[in-house]
Structure 1
Amino acid sequence: MQLVLDTHGLQLTKKGGVFEVIGEKSKREISPAKLSSIAVTATVILHSDAVVLAIKNQIPILFFDRIGKVRARLWSPYFESLATLRRQQVRFAESVEGGNWMVDVFMLKAEGQVQSLRFLASKVAGQKPVLDSVIGLIKQQSRQFEKYREQMPEEMRNQMMGTEGAIARVYWQGLGAALPRQYAFNKRTRQPAEDVFNAALNYLYGMLYSVVEGGIFAAGLDPYLGILHVDEYRKPTLSYDLIEPFRPWIDQLLVLECLEKRLQTTFFTRNQHGLFLNKEGKAFIIPLFNNFLRSTRTYFDRESTVKNHIYFLAHLLAQRIRGTV
């Protein structure tokens, strides 16, 4: 598990042979044997004896900025366990089990897309029949993912991405048409965006990538070694894989802002390349995203913050890699 220090003023010290986390009103002890990493996301106090305990147990301490990007790491100069996990990750990425993991990831994404559309249908009068039809199509198409199980990633990569793309087209057409008129769109557009919804979504996804990458680092994995997405020079391709189940969470967040009409046209500037968030828009979107990360929800029968769920899924992947190769 990852120990996340995300409250201003927390202290991390050593008590006997365990870590002690001291808060304003509480204390708790954690065995080093239970930790894979320590993530620091707020201004906290790290006692040197706790740092030494982490180093002795090969537990990296990672420091994150406000949008979840890793800025620094403290770790042991001895990399045996980390190197072993990286070797296991390479084998996993080229194995049948790696392909099965990607099937699970896209099934989770499809479930999230269904939940986003159900949320939208519950909020917009008259859209439920149309959105129910879209939900039915997504469920039908997502069943195709199961036929890719027990295949090597290179054998099913193109077919799986084709299935995911077909689902995405149906999803975005349904979602875009059901939004209030000032936010409606016909298709997903990236760089550049052609409408305010996609411009805001692009920026939110960009921040989400940083958080996912941080979770991958915290789990001891290499974010540049993807499974489904092909390796690209200096691109964190595993982040491209692991982000997929969490995209619909961002979609639903932005849908709510549109339904409440809090997303303003003044947040965007158009130039010859397309539509982009301006300074006013970033001042709105960044706090929205940070509050989203701190919000709680139930996922895998665990109630925790969104950020902790992201880290937990990265941790589950690391466990799967250790246990299957």
Structure 2
Amino acid sequence: MQLILDTPGTKLSRTNALFEVKHQEMQQTFSPEKIDSILLSKGIMVSTDAVLLALENGIEMVFISNDGSPKGRIWNNKFGSIAAIRRNQVLFSQSPDGMDWARERLLEKINSQYNFLLQIRHSLPNLPEQKIDRALHAIQRIVKKTGEKLDTSLALHTQAATLRGWEGTASRNYFAALSLALPEVYQFSERSRRPAKDLFNALLNYLYGILYSQVEGALIKAGIDPAIGVWHADEYNKPVLAYDFIEPYRVWADTVAFRLCQQYALQTADTIPEKNGVWLAPSGKKTAVTHFNAYMEEIIPSRNLRRTRLVHIQLEAQELAQRLLQYKPPRKLL
């Protein structure tokens, strides 16, 4: 599980072989065996004994911003595997094989968006069906395009731009339809980030941030460098491979956010006004984290295995590491 501490004034320390969390009159202990990572936001006090306990047990400590995105992490000074993985990763990221892998990740994402919308379309009454159906048809056209191999005669940057164009078109249709399916108080005109312009986007940004930290951590543990991406544009000091790798999992955050809004679980009081937008307040973060952690710990079937969603992320990172380790690049890349 992820231990997420985001209430200012909370203290994380060590008691014997356990983590101890204190805030005012509240006090809890956690066994390191049950924790995969610890997320810390602004205003949390951490003892060096707690840091060492995390390092001894292979638990990463991640510092997160107001929107849940990772800003830094404390991890031991070893990658999860041998350097050959990362040497091959550079070659893979500059090859048609890498771009085809990215296309497959994107295809999984867009398929999951289509299936989630279709599930909503058939399960909720009184929806503007014609508008949602138009969005579904538009996404289905993108699925068909993404399912075909890219033209390898084109430069890799041109192939990457093609993927980004398809992804953008699918996402615009997806979020427009998703908004229509929400209760009116949560509906939004467009996706917005840093800060969000509405409660739903603030919630979704926060959940994406937590998911980013899980994906980035899984890549590092598998011995993969999260900064060497394939089709997302390079950004200085950004884990762009995490942006590639996260795509099929985004719908998990979408699902939790949608369910919470269907249940009217968050209100305006669960946000903090910001210039030109809003952030989730501690009360909203607590609700989001509780439900997202429970969702990620559910056991689901995938690739002929039944594991929690969080474990599936870790297993797929390990699969990618093995693919990179065994990768034989085309001769022209050598």
Q: One fold, TM greater than 0.5? A: yes
Q: Distance in 2 between matches of 1:198 and 1:311?
A: 27
Q: 1:95, CA displacement in angstroms?
A: 0.7
Q: Distance in 2 between matches of 1:137 and 1:195?
A: 26
Give the alignment's TM-score, normalised by structure 2: 0.74
> 1:162 aligned to 2:165?
yes
- Partner letter of residue 137 of structure 2? G
Q: Which segment is superposed worse, 67-76 or 167-176?
A: 67-76
SS of 1:62's equivalent? coil
Structure-2 residue corresponding to 1:142: 143
| CA shift digits 1:246-279 (9 cap, x unpaired) | 1111101111111111122211121323111112
- Partner letter of residue 233 of structure 2? V
Structure-2 residue corresponding to 1:253: 256
The question of whether the paired residues in 1 share the 8 Å contact of 2:202 and 2:279 is answered with yes
Structure-1 residue corresponding to 2:59: 63
The question of whether the paired residues in 2 share the 8 Å contact of 1:103 and 1:149 is answered with no
> 1:287 aligned to 2:290?
yes
SS of 2:272's equivalent? strand
Q: Distance in 2 between matches of 1:182 and 1:169?
A: 20
State the identity as a percent.
32
The question of whether the paired residues in 1 share the 8 Å contact of 2:100 and 2:149 is answered with no
Q: 1:72, CA displacement in angstroms?
A: 2.2
Structure-2 residue corresponding to 1:23: none
> 1:243 aligned to 2:246?
yes
Q: 1:281, CA displacement in angstroms?
A: 1.2
| CA shift digits 1:196-227 (9 cap, x unpaired) | 10011011111111000011011110011111
Structure-1 residue corresponding to 2:188: 185
> 1:208 aligned to 2:211?
yes
SS of 1:205's equivalent? helix
Structure 2 residues without counterparts, runs of 5 or longer: 4-16, 18-32, 39-55, 65-69, 329-334
**1:1-325 correspondence to structure 2 within 5 Å:** 41=36, 62-65=58-61, 71-73=74-76, 75=78, 82-127=82-127, 128-145=129-146, 146-148=148-150, 150=152, 153-325=156-328
Alignment length (residue pairs): 275
SS of 1:298's equivalent? strand
Q: 1:5, CA displacement in angstroms?
A: 12
Q: Distance in 1 between matches of 2:36 and 2:178?
A: 34
Q: Distance in 2 between matches of 1:101 and 1:321?
A: 11
Q: Distance in 1 between matches of 2:212 and 2:236?
A: 17
The question of whether the paired residues in 2 share the 8 Å contact of 1:294 and 1:305 is answered with yes
Q: Distance in 2 between matches of 1:292 and 1:5?
A: 12
Q: 1:70, CA displacement in angstroms?
A: 5.3
The question of whether the paired residues in 2 share the 8 Å contact of 1:94 and 1:153 is answered with yes
Q: Distance in 2 between matches of 1:131 and 1:172?
A: 10
Q: Distance in 2 between matches of 1:109 and 1:168?
A: 10
SS of 1:144's equivalent? helix
Q: 1:147, CA displacement in angstroms?
A: 4.2
- Partner letter of residue 112 of structure 2? G
CA RMSD of aligned residues (A): 3.1
- Partner letter of residue 110 of structure 1? I
Q: 1:39, CA displacement in angstroms?
A: 11
Q: Distance in 2 between matches of 1:179 and 1:120?
A: 10
- Partner letter of residue 240 of structure 1? Y
In structure 2, relative to structure 1, the CA distance for the partners of 1:5 and 1:256 (3 Å cut) is closer
Q: 1:61, CA displacement in angstroms?
A: 7.1
Q: Which segment is superposed worse, 148-157 or 225-234?
A: 148-157
Q: Which segment is superposed worse, 150-159 or 186-195?
A: 150-159
Q: Distance in 2 between matches of 1:73 and 1:290?
A: 24
In structure 2, relative to structure 1, the CA distance for the partners of 1:199 and 1:105 (3 Å cut) is same
SS of 1:270's equivalent? strand
SS of 2:59's equivalent? strand
Structure-1 residue corresponding to 2:28: none
Q: Distance in 1 between matches of 2:164 and 2:34?
A: 33
- Partner letter of residue 148 of structure 1? L
Q: Which segment is superposed worse, 176-185 or 288-297?
A: 288-297
Structure 1 residues without counterparts, runs of 5 or longer: 11-37, 44-59
| CA shift digits 1:122-151 (9 cap, x unpaired) | 332032554343222211112222242646
Q: 1:113, CA displacement in angstroms?
A: 0.3
In structure 2, relative to structure 1, the CA distance for the partners of 1:62 and 1:322 (3 Å cut) is same
Q: 1:89, CA displacement in angstroms?
A: 0.3
- Partner letter of residue 240 of structure 2? T
